[in-house]
Structure 1
Amino acid sequence: MVTAITQGVKISVETDYQDEYSNPANEHFMFSYQINIENLSDYAVQLKRRQWFIFDSNGSQREVEGEGVVGLQPIIEPGKSHSYISGCHLSTDMGSMSGNYLMQRLADDTEFIVDIPEFNLIVPYRLN
Structure 2
Amino acid sequence: MYRAVTRRIEVTVEPNYLPERSSAENRQYFWSYTVVITNSGEETVKLRTRHWVITDASGRTQEVRGEGVVGEQPVLAPGERFEYTSGVPLPTASGFMAGRYQMETEAGEKFEIDVPPFSLDSPEGKRTLN
Q: TM-score, normalised by structure 1?
A: 0.95
Q: Distance in 1 between matches of 2:123 and 2:111?
A: 36
Aligned residue-pair number: 127
Specify the code of the residue in structure 2 equivalent to 1:92: T
- Does the CA-based 8 Å contact 2:14-2:33 persist in structure 1? yes
Q: Does 1:72 align with 2:72?
A: yes
Q: Does 1:22 align with 2:22?
A: yes
Q: Distance in 1 between matches of 2:43 and 2:59?
A: 40
1:45-124 matches, within 5 Å, as 45-106=45-106, 108-124=107-123
| Greater helix fraction, Structure 1 or Structure 2 | 1
Share of identical aligned residues, percent?
38
**2:42 alignment counterpart:** 42
Q: TM-score, normalised by structure 2?
A: 0.94
For the aligned residues, what is the CA RMSD?
1.3
Specify the code of the residue in structure 2 equivalent to 1:112: F
Q: Distance in 1 between matches of 2:93 and 2:67?
A: 29
- Does the CA-based 8 Å contact 2:93-2:124 persist in structure 1? no
Identify unmatched segments of 5+ residues in structure 1.
none
